[in-house]
Amino acid sequence: MIEINIEDLNKKEIGTHTGPVQVTRDGKKFTQMRRLGKKPAPNTGKGKMDALPQEIKDEILQLRSASISGAEIKQTIENLIAPTDNDNEFIFIVENKDIKRNLQSKLDATKAAGSKALHEGRHKDAVKYDKEFSRLLSLVNTEIPISTSKVIGEDRKLKVTGQGITEWAKNQGVTSRKKRQSVAEIREEIESKWKDDWHKINVDKADLETQVKELENDVRAQRTQKEGIQDQLAHCQSQLLQSKTK
């Protein structure tokens, strides 16, 4: 008696569907139903894209959702990869937009002051401003270590194609929009948005300051009016006392 484990057969079943196939046997042709198609390889999580730091994967998904091509994304990511003292290690530079927004005025002022000092020949001051600018910039940028050679070569190039990037993003549920935008356009769009938000906040702040000023003026006017009424009451009281004494 031979026992067959149906569960094991199901696990080892090949193909994706059953279909007719022309078979020739002993000089005769006939149709036979067979399993057809090729099942996709299971996602083991050990691919090149999976070896990337989460910060890089997040950046890729953000760019891809904005219809940036895989080749452009690859170039953008590579531009943000920097070498370290260790030949087998790299860093990925992530710009924190919220911090940059808060420090932008200081960055602009420090850069302008450094340029002015250099133009006027005040080299010591120029160096001082340059160091301060670098310090502020270091607060904006976060360095993410990449200690694997599986995804980055010695030339700082990603060991994955643009097509591989788009396929990976698609598997993550991220597809491009109908209208494609370049990396520069996306950055300009983001920059424009936060500038608009910044302008709106300043307008709201100015309106609130005006309201506070108006309230302060109203309070001051009411205080003056109150003092005037009190003076009138005091005058009336004085006249009443005078009339009683006559």
CA dist., res. 154 & res. 243, Å (int): 106
Average model confidence (pLDDT) across the chain: 77
CA dist., res. 92 & res. 74, Å (int): 13
139-145 average pLDDT score: 72
Measured over the CA atoms of residue 125, residue 128, residue 134 and residue 138, the dihedral's sign is negative
pLDDT number for residue 29: 81
pLDDT in tens, 15-38: 667 778 787 887 788 787 777 766
pTM as predicted: 0.41
50-76 average pLDDT score: 84
pLDDT in tens, 172-222: 888 766 556 667 777 777 888 878 888 788 888 888 888 888 888 888 888
Q: Which of 9, 64, 14 is nearest to 36 (CA)?
A: 14
